Amino acid sequence: MSTLDPDTLHWLLAELFGLLLVAAFFSATEAALTALNRNRIKQLAEAGQAGAARLLRLLKQPERIAGLGLIANYFVLVVFTQTGTVIALNGFAYEASLPLSLLIAAVLVVFGAVIPRSLAGLAPERWATFSAPLLVPLVWLSRPLTALLTVLPRLLLQGLAGGPPARELDPLNREELRAALQGNGATVPQKHRDMLFGLLDLENVTVEDVMVPRPDVVGVDLEQEWADILEQLATCRHTRVPCYYGNLDDIAGILHLRNLSRLLRQSREFSLEDLEALLVPPHFVPLGANLYIQLLNFQLARQRMGLVVDEYGDIQGLVTLDDVLEQVVGEFTTVPQSATRDVSRQADGSFMVDGAANVRELNRSFGWSLPEQGPKTLNGLILEALEDIPEAGTSFRLGEYTIEIVQAAGQTVRIARVFPPPGEAAARARGDAELGD
């Protein structure tokens, strides 16, 4: 039998409803503030938006907001359950009191926490802007209690640890940062994400992967005829040129063509000795260095180009600062160099590829997945797969790719035809069509 008069029962039910609203407000506010894009709020505040400025001030006091939410939630939990118990025991039969108490607790969880959090997460900025005017005075009024909740645990921890607790930072590792970027794809533009991913991948790429191999290095042999040296300098397309005696291992130095132009302005005639005086000592780079370390080394040494040497000190190629930066921002030219110089697309969907083409650049330019762990060029990849010097007309399968030797000379494959998997070819064709539109 009920021992509560109707007025008291109505008052207790109204109290439950009010507590439910308080719980829903703080649950939604906590979810909204957690999901806010702080960079956007900062930009809006700098643009003079009052609501954003108010939110920014709140976000700068996370301990007080957390303390206020903790106080409010525990207050609501205790009073709500006590009130519900009173209603269940005095307003209904004893047999119905336990199921009713459980129902009241479920109502608090569902309508006071789960649903408000879900709704606020759908539009966090709108809800946070709405709740900020109410939250600011509440944070100010609760300062004594939140300060007590903040200071007391610190004092207890100091007493237990024998000193002030050290604040340890747990920085994100590379994979966690990559996952965070992928999870926030809607807020980070694709181009920026690609650049960040390229920066994260620098430690996985070595100098050997991006260097200009020794046979392709453009240099000046100072032992050739003087007229030939002048002709080579006049037609050179690079700003920095290695100069050597006889072969690249006997390096004389690096010539910056800007210095040469200054010499030409001073005197129309100059000699080999004048040219040698302009040379600067070369910067050497280890073959296996990862690109992140090499980028720092270029910065510390104030260099833009280095000669790549192996463990025996032999020069294997050349790497520039541009080669490193292209791994982050992509090719500086409109069309990838590898696609114009080393690759020719055929009408049947295959590709005629120069044997000296870099495997990594082929994968980056055309979305292929050729093995990158072994040889760096397509010629080396073919020789490793066949374990023999192939003849023209030889065809074989490399994973999902069909490769046909078109031209071979001596111990190298000059030109090969690559048939990518049908799925990759179709995806590439769709991408080209979209670009064309």
Q: In the beta sheet, which residues pair with residue 345?
A: 351
Residues 212-267: tens digit of each pLDDT:
888 889 999 999 999 899 888 888 888 899 999 999 999 999 999 888 877 777 66
pLDDT of residue 429: 47
Q: In which residue are the tokens 């002030």 written?
A: 164
Pairing state between β 240-245 and 412-419: unpaired
Higher pLDDT pick, 205 / 190: 205
Q: What is the CATH number of domain 203-320?
A: 3.10.580.10
- The rounded distance, in Å, linking the Cα atoms of 163 and 157 is 8
Q: In which residue are the tokens 């046979």 written?
A: 215
Q: Domain ranges for the chain, please list them.
A: 6-161, 203-320, 337-436
Please say whether the beta carbons of 422 and 429 come within 8 A.
no
- The rounded distance, in Å, linking the Cα atoms of 314 and 251 is 11
pLDDT of residue 174: 65
Phi-psi region of 367 (alpha: psi -120 to 50; beta: other; left: phi over 0): left
Cα–Cα separations (whole angstroms), residue 274 to 177, 270, 369: 53, 6, 50
For the chain, what is the mean pLDDT? 79
**Above 50 in pLDDT, residue 71?**
yes
Does an H or E element contain 84, and which? helix 62-91
Task: Give 364-424 as a 3 state SS string.
Answer: HHHCCCCCCCCCCEHHHHHHHHHCCCCCCCCEEEECCEEEEEEEEECCEEEEEEEECCHHH
pLDDT of residue 431: 44
Domain 337-436 grouped into CATH 2.102.10.10: no
The one-letter amino acid at 268 = R
Please say whether the beta carbons of 352 and 343 come within 8 A.
yes
Please say whether the beta carbons of 242 and 217 come within 8 A.
yes
**Above 70 in pLDDT, residue 163?**
no
Mean pLDDT of 290-295: 87
Which of 287, 284, 286, 282 minimizes the C-alpha distance to 244? 282
| pLDDT band at residue 169 using 50, 70 and 90 as cut-offs | very low
